[in-house]
Structure 1
Amino acid sequence: MAEFDVNQTIEQARSTYESIAKAVDPEILNNKIHELEQQASAPGLWDDQDHAQQVTSALSVAQTQLRHLQSARQRLEDVETLLEMAQEEEDKDTLDEAQRDAEQLLQDLSDMAIQTLLDGEYDARAAVVTIRSGAGGVDAADWAQMLMRMYLRWAERHGFKTQIMDTSYAEEAGIKSATFQVNAAYAYGRLSVEGGTHRLVRISPFDNQGRRQTSFAAVEVIPLVEATDHIDVPDSDIRVDTYCSSGPGGQGVNTTYSAVRITHLPTNIVVTMQDERSQIQNRAAAMAVLQSRLLVLRHEEEAKKKKELAGDIKASWGDQMRSYVLHPYQMVKDLRTGYETSDTQGVFDGDIDAFIDAGIRWRHQQRREAAEEKAEENKE
């Protein structure tokens, strides 16, 4: 292992650390923690439970950010010291250890750098993901199920808990739609860049003539509502229908009217839940998803008003955001960021962090360019 390689990795790590420290600013973060600690220790804080939850949650996030930043700085100093020792003693084993530590630190810092870009209003939330089959018949239903497996495997890789909330199975194979929850901090911020239309090109396993088939599936990602969101849904605005669950399950699932369909009459949003064993549980889960979708709708309406004032953004998500090609060659390519890989099996097994990170950087760039355009228009 050449000393040049180790020095280069450490330099990259230091540069990444400095960009994070500039974005986060430890001094401002310390002041924020001090203010939140004072609020958290105030008498009567829990008289208002919603406010108390906001304060304690914000304090926990800020403390974690500072702790990670301080740890990264200490690790950077440690690996620099280790490199100096290796150079002084001309010890190859120590040099190799320094390189391994530096590479791991660089990876961890890269993850932290992505985290600093997750500064949207709901980015820190858990995520509710809905996948729907599109054009392509049975292949599209199979493709929707493949996508669901991909995201569940991604969550499993990260140790994130998931909960399948609703599954509508297709007649021949695959699924018509499915909704599941990813319970992890910043799950929404990360997965939100996966929203859009996903296209699969392959030799259809359902075609007797072995012809190439193109199929589509839509991915929707919304933030999970919290008690502090105050999304008011009057009973007069919803219609609740109950029915027997379908698909795999025992008698307790398939022979009782436990499944719930809630229709929000003003917007015609429909949410179905059938994966819990009781009607009460399914209704509660369906209401949570309905409130999440109404929250997103409200956010989109606000964003639309801002966009009308700022003008059109040059780049847009479009109907098709990623292509997965299995024939005549192997390639997964994101059409927004340009990131691609030939490791299609790895992607289907949940190795999609590079796509997610590229999407987050792309989104941040779009927002920055839109803000710059608006600033220029204001000058004029």
Structure 2
Amino acid sequence: MANHKIIFVNRYFYPDHSATSQMLSDLAFDLACEGYPVNVVTSRQLYDRPTAELTKAEDIRGVRIFRIWTTRFGRAGLLGRAFDYASFYLSAFWVLLRSTAKGDVIVAKTDPPLISVICGLVAVLRGAALVNWIQDLFPEVATELDMKAIGPAMPLARSLRNWSLRRAACNVVLGELMAQKLSEQRVDAESVRVIPNWADGDHIKPLAPENNELRREWRLEDKFVVGYSGNLGRAHEFFTILRAAEILRDRDVRVMFLFIGSGAQRVALEQWIEAHALTNVLFRPYQPKEKLGLSLSVPDAHLVCLKPGLEGLIVPSKFYGIAAAGRPTLFVGDPDGEIPRVLNAVNCGYAVSAGDPEGLVRHIEALKSDPDACRQMGLRARTEFERRFSRPRAVAAWKDLLDSFGSEKAAESSDSSYSRTF
């Protein structure tokens, strides 16, 4: 076990339920449970409620939490979001500077963007190790999503980001394609480690549709349900899915498309559905965490979509929950992407190109017409989940990484002729 302090930095943490918060909360609490000294520097806000006023400092389940001051404009406008980011940078720098000691490990996530630069500067000043836990690659994601405001600052943002990547003791990425992107930026391959995100396989388990109370409550017992669960964000390609729903509306009344969640594209999706009279599409809000196992087992098959240009910049983490629930995945995007490679290797789903609704329809019809094949795909997904994407496996990989810093420190102190400052 590492004897140095581990300081995680991310804008959201427990009790927030956003994706980055949940991953960080799982890891921080699991490490603390095993005796690791864990601190978290985060904001006082919730992802969907920027005016929330969480406690400034507290200990929860062995994790020491510092919730710093920031502005509270929220996600509605780019200018307000920029002020929220800037205030987080300043407050985080001050708190980290005061609380970080030599030999500590600062783990920087990617919300807000470029927080790794602030953490890297503190690591240099305090003699700490920097670990970047990369959920997405900014500013490339902003460019792909056509966020014009970042355009003039792109070269500077990339230069600063690359400085933080190259001076880090380790860069943790979510997949092999993301590792390739770092290689293209001349980041030392020795500093890159692939640790996928995960789902809680104890809470999310395969459940037969006929035993699912939510399926009955939503009156989907006699339907073949194609589900999408999670953020309806700008990174996702929904047109192919909506066109497939339009085709199937007139071809098979038993197929129902279920969207669980919300996000930036929710209103546009609802408008398109209304304009095209898609009676085979149902929306439901985000479900409480305690019902996640139920909600993920409502669909017979799940949709995952990603704009092709974002491959290697983002890995859709919703796949891990789908696999834990024992359901096949229908991927829409780049057929040679990170998730399609898993689907093809394990035969636990299908991938179609963005813009190919007929191909998506063919796969949906194939799964619906062969329930046993659909079920077997789901079982293979669960087996692969347990082999590669479970929470205990991810935590074990993180422990191995964090313990290596303690080993390096001990080796350095035993050799007076060799010294290293992270």
TM range (shorter): under 0.3
- TM-score normalised by length of structure 2: 0.25
The structure with more radius of gyration: 1
- TM-score normalised by length of structure 1: 0.27
Greater helix proportion: 1
